[in-house]
Homo-oligomer: A and B are copies of this chain.
Amino acid sequence: MASPARRPERKRRDTYHHGNLRQALIDQAVQTIRQHGVDGLTLRGVGADLRVSRTALYRHFADKGALLAAVATDGFRTFHAALAEAWQAGGRGRAGFEAMGLAYVRFAVANPSHYRVMFGGFVDHAGADPELVTEADGAFQVLVDSLIEQQGRGLIAGGDPQQLALYIWAIVHGIAMLGIDGQLPPQQSAEDLTVAAMHHIREGIRGT
């Protein structure tokens, strides 16, 4: 009966009813997995945290997998930015390349559950959400572009940059997963291993 409120402070309170419940659900899911792991994420719990019905979520996501896909997509955006920033700030050369590798592993170690949702097979990368694929490809492309640029300057050898990128992606991904799973010995942090790896990647390990 009252005329529509114009003051944003007032609208902010029940803003979930006006279109941003979707983002609120994603944010809450991210916070929940950060604190309680992926197993600790329940749709009912997220709803309760946001003081919303258990089923309100289904207005914005088809199912739990769709929410996880959105969480992964959100993660890839941050990830993409972190990699690009490291490469750029490091001077787009050898140092930038090493900084990018470190940034990769640091993101994973700092956000283990989020990283796991992005890469742990909770969402099938092969199909489904086109936005997820776009964001994941975007992050990967930072690496590919950096390789092409380095090849152009003779910093690294020629060869298919896509394949080279997959090789390097696999290395940092592997280090990240081993670190997250606690499979690295105590005296060997994921970051230390990454620094050593960036050297090995460049120089190889062959004998004299």
B166 and A178: CB pair below 8 A? Answer: yes
A121 and B202: CB pair below 8 A? Answer: no
Chain B residues whose C-beta falls within 8 Å of the C-beta of A157 in the assembled complex: 205-208
A162 and B174: CB pair below 8 A? Answer: no
Q: Once bound together, how far apart are the Cα atoms of A204 and B156, in whole Å?
A: 9
Answer whether residue A120 sits at the interface, using C-beta atoms and an 8 A cutoff: yes
Chain A contributes a number of interface residues (CB within 8 A of B) equal to: 48
Q: Which are the 5 A-B pairs with shortest beta-carbon distances?
A: A174-B174, A204-B204, A170-B174, A126-B182, A173-B174
Chain B residues whose C-beta falls within 8 Å of the C-beta of A185 in the assembled complex: 162
Total identical chains: 2
Q: Is the interface of A mostly helix, strand, loop or mixed?
A: helix
Q: A173-B177, A174-B177, A193-B167 are in contact. Are A124 and B205 (CB under 8 A)?
A: no
Closest B-chain residue to A186, C-beta based?
Answer: B126
Q: A170-B193, A177-B174, A203-B206 are in contact. Are A121 and B121 (CB under 8 A)?
A: no
Q: Once bound together, how far apart are the Cα atoms of A205 and B154, in whole Å?
A: 11
Q: A172-B174, A178-B170, A204-B204 are in contact. Are A183 and B120 (CB under 8 A)?
A: no
Q: Once bound together, how far apart are the Cα atoms of A151 and B124, in whole Å?
A: 41
Say how far A183's CB is from chain B's closest CB, in angstroms: 5
Q: A120-B120, A188-B163 are in contact. Are A202 and B204 (CB under 8 A)?
A: yes
Answer whether residue A200 sits at the interface, using C-beta atoms and an 8 A cutoff: yes
Q: A163-B196, A196-B163, A201-B204 are in contact. Are A125 and B181 (CB under 8 A)?
A: yes
Q: A120-B121, A177-B119 are in contact. Are A184 and B166 (CB under 8 A)?
A: yes
Q: Once bound together, how far apart are the Cα atoms of A170 and B167, in whole Å?
A: 11
Give 20 A-B pairs besides A166-B178, A170-B193 with Cβ atoms closer than 8 angstroms: A120-B120, A121-B180, A125-B181, A125-B183, A136-B183, A155-B206, A156-B207, A157-B208, A163-B188, A163-B193, A164-B200, A164-B205, A166-B175, A166-B188, A167-B196, A169-B178, A171-B171, A173-B177, A200-B204, A203-B206
